[in-house]
């Protein structure tokens, strides 16, 4: 479940909510059964508050939305992708700690 600072996106609104967004968007490709996805959820929540206004964080459930992950070659979860201007700027696969995730985001801000 996403916090107030994290948006839920789907196949239907991905283009508008992520690709058409003004500014960087970190997309978390996840599933409810994924243990590592659950591990990074509180970290994403913290980062969404700390970087509010600098980056938007979005989550897409790959079980409910199969087209978007396929389009971007998501093979393992969690997969985190930073989009800006409609293009992928960076990708990180697997659970990472807060320091590594913050470094990854800052590289693309």
User: Tens digit of pLDDT for each residue in 41-100?
Assistant: 999 999 999 999 999 999 999 999 999 999 999 999 999 999 999 999 999 999 999 999
Mark 94-109 as b/e (b = at least 16 C-beta within 10 Å): ebbeeeebbebbeeee
Q: Is 73 contained in some domain?
A: yes
* Active-site residue flag, 37: yes
What's the predicted TM-score (pTM) here? Answer: 0.95
Q: Which of 7, 17, 27, 37 is catalytic?
A: 37
Per-residue pLDDT, averaged over 31-44, amounts to 97
Q: Is 81 contained in some domain?
A: yes
Total number of domains in the chain: 1
- Report the CATH number that the domain containing residue 64 is assigned in CATH: 3.40.30.10
* Active-site residue flag, 14: no
Q: Which of 34, 58, 60, 82 is catalytic?
A: 34
| Structural domain range at position 86 | 6-107
């Amino acid at each position: 479940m996403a916090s107030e600072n994290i948006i839920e996106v789907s196949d239907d609104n991905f283009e508008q909510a992520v690709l058409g967004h003004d500014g960087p968007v970190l997309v978390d490709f996840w599933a409810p059964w994924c243990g590592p996805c659950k591990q990074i959820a509180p970290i994403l929540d913290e980062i969404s508050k700390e970087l509010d206004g600098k980056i938007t964080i979005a989550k897409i459930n790959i079980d409910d939305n199969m087209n978007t992950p396929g389009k971007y070659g998501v093979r393992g979860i969690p997969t985190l992708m930073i989009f800006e201007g409609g293009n992928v700027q960076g990708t990180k696969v697997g659970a990472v700690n807060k320091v590594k995730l913050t470094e990854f985001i800052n590289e693309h801000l």
